């Protein structure tokens, strides 16, 4: 039986590596630059290296603590793919007081209620 693998990402190199799950707290190193790899999850699909906008979006998601982990019912759920989608959700988080990590997971940005 094969061991389960998950994706680790090096943001400066724009590279993704499938590796076995490690022990909690175990630090992984990039084979290209020796920088620290970030655990992205088993449902992660890396954008092309030349797609700088997608890597910027991915950087924001991973630094916000949002991964691409499979659930019992399927994939990781909605994740923003463009800078525009990230910007909309960031503005919503600031205005509503909702944590950024949770606001980034909304498929549709909730509309603000107006008094009336």
Q: Which of 62, 52, 41, 73 is nearest to 104 (CA)?
A: 62
Backbone angles phi, psi at 9, to 5 degrees: -125, 140
Give the max Cα distance, the chain.
62
- What confidence tens digit (pLDDT) does each residue in 61-103 have? 899 888 888 766 655 667 778 888 888 888 988 999 888 888 8
- What confidence tens digit (pLDDT) does each residue in 14-72 have? 999 999 887 777 899 999 999 999 999 888 899 999 999 999 999 988 998 888 887 66
Q: Which of 58, 53, 50 is nearest to 8 (CA)?
A: 58
């Amino acid at each position: 039986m094969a061991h389960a693998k998950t994706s680790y990402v090096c943001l400066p190199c724009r590279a993704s590596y499938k590796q076995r799950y490690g022990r909690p707290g175990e630090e992984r190193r990039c084979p290209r630059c020796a920088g620290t790899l970030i655990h992205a999850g088993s449902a992660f699909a890396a954008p092309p290296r030349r797609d700088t906008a997608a890597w910027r979006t991915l950087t924001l998601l991973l630094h916000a603590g949002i991964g691409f982990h499979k659930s019992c019912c399927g994939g990781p759920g909605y994740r923003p793919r463009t800078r525009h989608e990230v910007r909309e959700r960031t503005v919503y988080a600031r205005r509503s007081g909702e944590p950024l990590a949770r606001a980034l997971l909304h498929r549709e940005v909730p509309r603000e209620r107006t008094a009336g």
